[in-house]
A and B are shown apart, each in its own frame.
Chain A
Amino acid sequence: MSAVTPVGLRFDHVSHGYDIGGALLPVLEDVSLDIAPGEFVALLGPSGCGKSTLLRLAAGLELPRAGEALAGGVPITGPGPERILVFQEATLFPWRTVRRNVEAGPEARGELAAKQARVDEALRLVGLEAFGAAFPHQLSGGMAQRAAIARALVNDPRLLLLDEPLGKLDSLTRLNLQKDLIRLWQDRGFTALLVTHDVEEALLLADRVVLFSPRPARIIEELRVDRPHPRRRDDPVLIALRTRLLASLGVLEDV
Chain B
Amino acid sequence: MSDLPESGRGVYASATRLPLPIWRDGLLAALAWGSVSVATLILPDVIQWGATGTFAALTGTVAAIFLALAFTVPPGQRSTLRHYGPWFIVLGLWLLLWEVITAKLGWLPKPFFSPPQGLLHVYMTDWDRLLICIAYTGRLWGLGFFIGISAGFLAGVGLGWSKRFAYWGMPVLKLIGPVPASAWIPCAFFIFPSTFQASVFLVALASGIPVAILTASGISQVNRAFYDVARTLGASNRWQVTKIAIPAALPNVFVGLFMGLYYSFAVLVVAEMLGAKFGLGWYLQFNTAYSAYANVYAALIVMALICAGLVKLLFLIRDRMLGWQKGIL
Binding site for B on A (CB under 8 A): 59-61, 78-81, 83-85, 87, 89, 91, 93-97, 104-105, 107-109, 135-137, 151, 155
Contact = CB atoms under 8 A, between A and B. Distances in A.
A84 B235 CA distance: 12
Interface string B228-249: 1111111110010001100110
A85 B232 contact: yes
Contacts of A85: 228-229, 232
Contacts of A60: 232
B235 A108 contact: yes
Contact of A108 (B223, B230, B248, B329): B230
Contacts of A89: 225
A108 B228 contact: no
6 contacts: A80-B232, A83-B232, A91-B228, A93-B226, A104-B243, A155-B233
Given A79-B232, A80-B232, A105-B234, A91 B226 contact: yes
B229 A91 contact: yes
A82 B295 CA distance: 71
Contact of A105 (B225, B233, B322, B325): B233
B234 A80 contact: yes
Given A81-B232, A108-B230, A91 B324 contact: no
Given A93-B226, A95-B248, A108 B233 contact: yes
A61 B227 CA distance: 10
Contacts of B143: none
A84 to B, nearest CB: 5
A97 B248 CA distance: 14
Which 7 A-B residue pairs are closest in the complex by CB-CB distance?
A108-B235, A105-B233, A81-B234, A79-B231, A95-B247, A79-B232, A137-B326
Contacts of B236: 108
Nearest to B235: A108
Given A91-B225, A96-B324, A135 B232 contact: no
Contacts of A94: 324-325
B250 interface: yes
A83 B231 CA distance: 11
Contacts of A83: 232
A236 B235 CA distance: 46
Contact of A109 (B234, B244, B322): B234
Interface string B286-329: 00000000000000000000000000000000000011111001
